[in-house]
Chain A
Amino acid sequence: MDSAVLDFLAATIRIATPLMLAAMGGIISERAGVFAVGLEGMMLAGAFGAAAGTFLTGSTAIGIASSIGCGALVGLTVAVVAVRFRADQMVTGLAANALVAGLTSFLLRGVIGHGRTPVIHTALLDPWPVPGLSAIPVIGSLLFQQPPLTYLAFTATVPLYWFLVNSHAGLLLRAAGENPAAAYSVGANPAKIRTVATIAGAAITGLGGAVLVLQQVGTFSDGMTGGRGFLALAAIIVGRWMPFGTMAACLVFGAAEAMHLWVQVLGLPVSSYIVQMLPYLLALAVLAAWGRSVVMPAAIGVAYGDPDRS
């Protein structure tokens, strides 16, 4: 295979990986009935956690743990405001994004830079070649010589699918997103399910931010997620709130972004702006073609408090 094609596929995988982790987290939250508008902020918090954790301790493992923790903290904030206090989910998510953007910039200067903007460098995660498989020509170097979070992003879809479709807990989670009153009537606690789902989803989304820092650029800069959280949100819609469809959507988005960059670099006579629009056009087309009512969790965005509490 031509090396340009290989490079293109490798770029597609690199670009899709953080989107996939963010989107998987978003699916969990949205399936439970909480809009994942805060994905951008959760991802940025995860990126900051990964950079700060790794920079301060020198350990990428601690960096990964810290990205999970920082993502979950944003999830906790969203859950408290949107689930416990039943605030509007859209507003809460957008507010969380703005909060994290300011807070991470502040902490970068305040905690790490002692008042100044530091340029920090973190170690990058090494690729983990899969014994045997990594030796396969073409596919081996493409799929089986990746850093750990890439494997996680690709394989997490399987247990997530199983959990949502086949497990009892997954059924209750979906019930909280489809019809919380019915879930309550069979003894589940939709408010609690939504809270846990939002926090767990945010933790996974945080890992998407860790990919940017620990597998790609080795540093943190203000607002470095650059809208990737919203792209992940679009992938969830295109993927019909299911893990495999969403993974495919992320790969398509990754390919479109890689194509956008390659069209520019190769100087092809195609407007890179058109190519850059493709993922969004695709998301709009999917929304228009299938309508939102068919598979979108029915009670998403609808506040449901704990009836025993209020």
Chain B
Amino acid sequence: MISRRSLIAAIALGSPVLRLAKATPGTFMPAVTYDIGGKYDKSFNEAAWQGAERFKADSGIAYREFEITSPVQREQALRALCRRGVSIIVAIGFNQSEAVTTVCREFPDAKFTIADAIAKGPNVQSVVMREEEGSYLVGMLAAMASTGGRIGFIGGIDIPLIRRFKAGYRAGALSINPAIETVENMVGDTPTAWSDPTRGAELARAQFGRGVDVVFAAAGASGLGIYQAAKDLGKLAIGVDSNQNGIHPGTMLTSMVKHVDKVVYDSFSTARAGTWQPGVQSLGLAEGGVDWALDDNNRALITSEMEQSVRAATAEIVAGRIRVPDGS
């Protein structure tokens, strides 16, 4: 039987030690904390990393980073970075909102930007995306690509963030075909819903069995199973967060892209220039926060008519003439 003390020692040794050098006072030192999934997740965190790298390349200023691997590290990481005197921290992902709300009070001189959630505090900038606008465009594409008049949506968990995707997607599809039917499902109700490609594939197969011929996945890594099921059964799938068209060229209709890279880049740049402002910002099509992906991998699936319709709708949304529902 392992003694309790040795178990605690093992756990303590196993957790990453926060080893971060102290910044010299007066120098600009930005930082980013990635959420669970890590900076190379081919999705949300990786986009943030790309934004930080772009800032580094453009400005020559190095940044600090922390990859959170368990929920207890969220506050620890923010505190450790603040104590080292970083100028601004960009926290990636809605999971970090509570940690930011707590830690921002302890370090009133530090600046915090949180991507994808709203956190309260006088020194916090919350950047949310209008996912419904990008989802509206891919919903239009789904409706135009569908031959059977029935399209699918598979989200991770039924939360407000995912409802924005769902509401926009449905509205976009209805704008093309008022009679279209949208089958909408969630992978699950626990965090494994974001990382269960097998269940994602089964849900997609069930939808395809009910006559769905295009499915939009907003379910993290579970989407990988959904895209595979679409490929196996000769249906179409739509990727999410980053450009996932290249995963299965030929059956990936498009991807709804969120430019988290822009959040990181802009926060670092404005903080450096002294123009950074606390408060809530909302990025949609007009601000370049969301978009749809068209590249060599899906060019053959998008007709010029489809492309024109989407470009026209983009202009209408940017001009405020189309108001996209956000599911709330």
Contacts and interface: CB of A to CB of B under 8 A. Distances in A.
Contacts of A226: 192, 195-196, 198-199
A15 B202 contact: yes
A116 B1 contact: no
Q: Is the interface of B mostly helix, strand, loop or mixed?
A: helix
A115 B195 contact: no
Nearest to A211: B198
Interface string B194-215: 0111111111011101100000
A31 interface: no
B221 interface: yes
B38 A11 contact: no
Interface string A256-288: 011001101111000001000000000000000
Contacts of A15: 202
A117 B41 contact: yes
Indicate the size class of the contact surface on chain B. 20 to 34
Contact of A7 (B41, B42, B206, B224): B206
A220 to B, nearest CB: 9
B156 interface: no
Contact of B195 (A124, A218, A221, A265): A221
Interface in B18-62: 37-38, 40-42, 46
Interface in A194-220: 212, 216-219
B224 A11 contact: no
A3 B183 CA distance: 18
Nearest to B232: A124
A14 B221 contact: no
Given A3-B209, A7-B209, A265-B183, A223 B247 contact: no
Contacts of A113: 40
In the complex, which of the residues B42, B192, B203, B209 has the most CB atoms of chain A within 10 Å of its own CB atom? B209
Nearest to B207: A265
B202 A227 contact: no
Nearest to A117: B40
A50 to B, nearest CB: 13
Interface string B206-245: 1101100000000001001100100010000000000000
A11 B206 contact: yes
Contacts of A86: 1
In the complex, which of the residues B7, B196, B201, B203 has the most CB atoms of chain A within 10 Å of its own CB atom? B196
A265 B126 CA distance: 35
A224 B207 contact: no
Indicate the size class of the contact surface on chain A. 35 or more
Nearest to A14: B202
B210 to A, nearest CB: 6
Interface string A1-35: 00110010001001100100000000000000000
Contacts of B7: 91
Given A87-B2, A226-B195, A221 B40 contact: no
Contacts of A91: 2, 7
B185 interface: yes
A11 B196 contact: no
B195 to A, nearest CB: 5
B229 to A, nearest CB: 8
B189 interface: yes
A266 to B, nearest CB: 7
B197 A11 contact: no
A261 B199 contact: yes
A258 B2 CA distance: 41
In the complex, which of the residues B41, B206, B225 has the most CB atoms of chain A within 10 Å of its own CB atom? B206
Contacts of B40: 109, 113, 115-117
A226 B225 CA distance: 13
Interface string A212-243: 10001111011110111000000000000000
Given A113-B40, A222-B195, A217 B228 contact: yes
Given A217-B224, A219-B197, A219-B224, A11 B192 contact: no
Nearest to A4: B209
In the complex, which of the residues A86, A219, A257 has the most CB atoms of chain B within 10 Å of its own CB atom? A219
A124 B206 CA distance: 20
Interface in A150-172: none
Given A119-B247, A222-B221, A261 B206 contact: yes
A14 B201 CA distance: 11
A222 B195 CA distance: 7
Contacts of A266: 210
B198 A224 contact: yes
A261 B209 contact: no
A223 to B, nearest CB: 5
Contact of B225 (A11, A18, A217, A257): A217
Contacts of A116: 40
Nearest to B209: A7
A212 B201 CA distance: 10
Contacts of B221: 221-222, 224
29 contacts: A7-B205, A7-B206, A18-B198, A87-B1, A113-B40, A116-B40, A117-B40, A117-B42, A119-B42, A216-B198, A216-B225, A216-B228, A217-B201, A217-B224, A217-B225, A217-B228, A221-B221, A222-B37, A222-B195, A224-B221, A226-B195, A227-B192, A228-B198, A257-B202, A261-B206, A262-B206, A265-B185, A265-B207, A265-B210
8 shortest A-B CB distances, which residue pairs? Answer: A116-B40, A117-B40, A221-B221, A226-B196, A217-B225, A265-B206, A7-B209, A217-B197
Interface of A: 3-4, 7, 11, 14-15, 18, 86-88, 91, 109, 113, 115-117, 119, 121, 124, 212, 216-219, 221-224, 226-228, 257-258, 261-262, 264-267, 273
